[in-house]
Chains A and B, each alone.
Chain A
Amino acid sequence: MAETKLKNPTEAILIGGSTGSIEVLLRVLPALPTPLSFALIIVLHRKNTADSTLATLLSLKTESPFREVDDKDPIRPGTIYLAPADYHLLIEQDKSFSLDDSEKVNYSRPSIDVTFESAADVYGSSLIGILLSGANADGTKGMQAIQKTGGLLVAQHPDTALVGFMPQQAIANTTTDYVLDIDGLIAFLKSVNTAQQTAASAF
């Protein structure tokens, strides 16, 4: 289903979420195939502690290489990245990460907008932005930036989210390409991956 709207092979997929989004990831991550043909970058609002409980929790749910980002890490396809607590996560032109501990944006650090906007600049139309459950409007400006540079937009269906506000804001303020429940999201991610593997094996 995704092939129709995808203009370019997907290099990176961003997932942003807040309240209620961890539960979604705990269902989505185990269902994803390996290897992934894209980098999957996750930005969640979380407690401002440096403890790695969330990273451990999520890493146990996937067979893919999983990494809580360190400054200057290169972005590799097939790897799942988690934004560390208490830093904004930015993407540089050479497709590496940089961190920034400047003021909170939308009361949040990491801010979903900050990562999505910088990724839009770098990846353009080979980027997909996905916004999950949350009680904050963070992410909407980031989705607008991805829309502007030709990427694809996906929102969790607000009725299926623990808190529908965050995806609802994105749907109201962007031309969201897909509004999906959790099973739909899994099928979508699989299709993005399979589409590329099929295309690659055809050569």
Chain B
Amino acid sequence: MNPDYDLSTSELEEILTLIKLIHGYDFTNYAQTSLKRRIIRCMGLAHIRTASELRFQLANDTAFFDWFLQSIMVNVTEMFRDPAFYRTLGEKVLPLLASYPIIKIWHAGCSTGEEVYSMAILLKEANLLERCRLYATDINPANLEKARLGLIPVQHLNDYTAGYQQAGGQRDFKDYYSLQGNYIQMHKTLRDSILFAQHNLVTDRVFNEFQLVCCRNVLIYFNKDLQNHVIRLFHDSLAPLGFLAIGTKESLLFTDLRDQFTAIAPDTKIFRRTR
């Protein structure tokens, strides 16, 4: 971090209040240390040295705010991240979902779509994709535009291919995309199987009932109060005995509804609603 740029706790609070009032995005219950680090990083990139200058820019320059929003949100994502998660999902969850005539799945905080496409591939191989309604949501419209196109940077293709195999993929990963310059584009059958829509976990509500909610490495950006709120939203969005998948280093331990979920196996972060 550049020592020339810093924010006090009260300056940070003023900035978050301003963003909430003017732009309607509520970051006040995000994990503070991480958010502050990312805002200071933005100040460094934009050569903004004081909190008052940052407030002025955020209030008066829409293009700046769009860039700022894009930069403070973490949009790092990969296909088949944690292959063991997908393997467990394929072995323990999909066979149970197969008994439903229509399977509704919600990917919350899908970013640019890498994870939901990974899941769509596994669903296809389990012969379930035709029966699935995949909803993928994100707070950020720019992410959703990219996700809809199914364009994924080619740079990590080798890792993704290895991840696909470790995740239990049975075919050739090449079967699912075509090369488009610096990108791979996911095939149309996969793209058409996913409905991408804007949804804000902080302010928006339950919009359907799902057999599986997948929200990995999103909760880490929230403080405990907001995690609690979002876990309740997921609980209320799940059908009885529905599944909730969170990130491998995330936890339900600090939320009020921890007793309403049981892990489907030790050492996994896939839970099932107890009722």
Contacts and interface: CB of A to CB of B under 8 A. Distances in A.
Given A71-B250, A72-B251, A144-B3, A90 B37 contact: yes
Contacts of A92: 31-33, 223
A101 B74 CA distance: 7
B249 A69 contact: yes
Interface in B30-72: 31-34, 37-38
The size bracket of the interface on A is: 20 to 34
Interface of A: 50, 69-73, 84, 87-88, 90-93, 98-103, 113-114, 117-118, 121, 141, 144-145, 148
Contact of B251 (A70, A87, A101, A121): A70
Interface of B: 1, 3, 9, 31-34, 37-38, 74, 76, 82, 84, 217, 219-221, 223-224, 227, 247-251, 253-254
A28 to B, nearest CB: 25
A98 B76 contact: no
Nearest to B76: A101
A144 B221 CA distance: 26
Chain B interface mostly: loop
22 contacts: A71-B219, A71-B220, A71-B247, A72-B224, A72-B254, A73-B251, A90-B37, A92-B33, A93-B33, A98-B31, A99-B249, A100-B37, A100-B220, A101-B217, A101-B220, A102-B38, A103-B76, A117-B37, A118-B37, A121-B33, A141-B1, A148-B3
A116 to B, nearest CB: 10
Contacts of A117: 1, 37
Nearest to A118: B33
Contacts of B219: 71
B84 A50 contact: yes
A70 B217 CA distance: 11
B74 A114 contact: no
Given A50-B82, A71-B220, A87-B220, 20 more contacts: A69-B249, A70-B249, A71-B251, A72-B224, A72-B254, A90-B31, A90-B33, A93-B9, A98-B31, A99-B250, A100-B220, A101-B74, A101-B220, A102-B34, A102-B76, A113-B1, A118-B33, A118-B37, A141-B1, A145-B3
Contacts of B1: 113, 117, 141, 145
- The 3 lowest CB-CB distance pairs between A and B, nearest first, are A98-B31, A100-B34, A90-B33
Nearest to B250: A71
Nearest to B82: A50
Contacts of A141: 1
B249 A71 contact: yes
Contacts of B38: 102
A103 B227 CA distance: 23
Residue of A70, A71, A98, A141 with most chain B CB atoms under a 10 A cut-off: A71
A144 B4 CA distance: 13
Contacts of A100: 31, 34, 37, 74, 220-221
B250 A50 contact: no
A141 B2 CA distance: 9
